[in-house]
Amino acid sequence: MHPTLALRRFASRLQPLESEVEAAYQHLATIRARLNNSFHVAAVVRIGSHSRGTAIRTYSDVDILAVLRRKEARWANRDVSPDTFMRRISEDLRDRYTATSIRRDGQAVVLEFSGGDHAVDLVPGIFERIESRCAVYRIPGDANEWIETSPDRHKRRFQIASAKSGGKLRLVSQLIKGWRYGREPPFAVSSFYTDMLLASSGIASGVKSYGECLYEFFAELVRREGRGLRDPEGIAGVIPATTSDPARARLVAASITARDRAAVALDAEARGDFAGAVRQWSMVFNRAL
């Protein structure tokens, strides 16, 4: 089998099941209804890898931005802290979903329905302004500070880069996420970081195979030593690849191995040894292609 076909077949196995997505989105109406009992919800916006089309089966949670009225983040004419803001929302949701695991994970409140099979990551935000025809929101950051984000601008950047890649970008992103989850525990590299690095680096632009795109991505991770990426839209500051130095060290080590095996696979393909190339890619993803 030609390695490009093998990679495409593997990508097809990574596509989210409609039943998974539908089950998670069924909870959105009840989440909004619950929040409306205690807060003023202006809108619920789908964000994250599902909105960019780069989600993968089983592992990609459904991300939503719950846009609350500005007054919800103020008390006595002063802004409340992000931690207080998140705690109020978490406690309110726990009162409604008593049988559901609810926890904070960075900027999101994670609701694990059906034992985690249908997880929803809820990011609460406050509308700030319109910029470049897209909404900019203020959301809680990891360090008890308010940060800005614009999901529509990031989605638009990814879509433009995907068009320039001839449509390859989405599948390349999904393959990278398949690589991430091919080990236990998975490599700690964020989906947002992956998509923005792909969209801003030109890795998938031009006439390149999926294998060449993957090699360039792994090589770029090694070159950057897993460091954060400055937001190409100039909104979110630095987008971290991982959450800790040990996680970054593991990511870099895994990227070196993946880069070197990808190079061997591409060399085998160039020599016409398709079976050898597929074997190398199977080792990259830690599963048979």
Q: Do residue 27 and residue 108 come from a single domain?
A: yes
Residues 273 and 172 in one domain: yes
- Domain end position, chosen among 149, 170, 200: 149
182 & 278 share domain = yes
Same domain, 7 and 38: no
176 and 225 in a single domain? The answer is yes
Same domain, 208 and 254: yes
> How far does CA 196 lie from the centroid of its chain?
9
Same domain, 219 and 237: yes
DSSP the chain: --HHHHHHHHHHHHSPPHHHHHHHHHHHHHHHHHHHHHS-EEEEEEEHHHHHT---TTT-PEEEEEEE-GGGGEETTEEPPHHHHHHHHHHHHHHH-TTSEEEEETTEEEEEEGGGTEEEEEEEEEEEEEETTEEEEEEE-TTS-EEEE-HHHHHHHHHHHHHHTTTHHHHHHHHHHHHHTTSSSPP---HHHHHHHHHHH-TT-SS--HHHHHHHHHHHHHHHTT--EE-TTSSSSEE-S-SSHHHHHHHHHHHHHHHHHHHHHHHHHHTT-HHHHHHHHHHHHTS--
247 plus 204 within the same structural domain: yes
111 has which bridge partners?
102, 120
The total of structural domains in the chain comes to 2
The reported pLDDT for the residue numbered 159 is 94
Q: How many C-alpha atoms does 152 have within 13 Å on its Cβ side?
A: 11
Domain ends where: 149, 172, 204? 149
Which CATH number covers residue 134? 3.30.460.90
Cβ–Cβ under 8 Å, residues 173 and 197? no
Give the CA diameter of the chain. Answer: 71
Residues 201 and 140 in one domain: no
Q: Which residues are paired to 147 by β-bridges? A: 139
Containing structural domain, residue 204: 3-15+154-285
pLDDT at 38: 82
CA nearest 238: which of 202, 198, 197? Answer: 197
- Specify whether 97 is located in the same domain as 166: no
**pLDDT attached to residue 248:** 95
Two tokens, residue 137 = 């929101």
Length of the chain: 289
**Angle, helices 210-224/245-270, rounded to nearest 10 degrees:** 150
Spell out the per-residue pLDDT of the chain, length 289, in tens.
999 999 999 999 999 888 777 777 777 778 888 888 888 888 888 899 989 999 998 888 888 898 988 777 766 466 778 888 888 889 888 888 888 888 888 888 888 876 666 788 999 889 999 999 999 999 988 778 888 999 999 999 999 999 989 889 999 999 999 999 998 888 889 999 999 999 999 888 888 999 999 999 999 999 999 999 999 999 988 999 998 999 999 999 999 999 999 999 999 999 999 999 999 999 999 999 9
The answer to whether residues 10 and 51 belong to one domain is: no
Report how far residue 274's alpha carbon sits from residue 266's, in angstroms, rounded to the nearest whole number.
9
The CA angle 207-176-19, to the nearest 5 degrees, is: 110
Phi/psi region, residue 144 (left: phi>0; alpha: psi -120 to 50; beta: rest), is left
Beta bridge partners of 47: 63
Distance CA 43, CA 31 (A): 12
Torsion of CA 172, 178, 180, 186, to 10 degrees: 160
Q: Which of 94, 114, 149 is the last residue of a domain?
A: 149
Residues 7 and 55 in one domain: no
Per-residue pLDDT at 74: 67
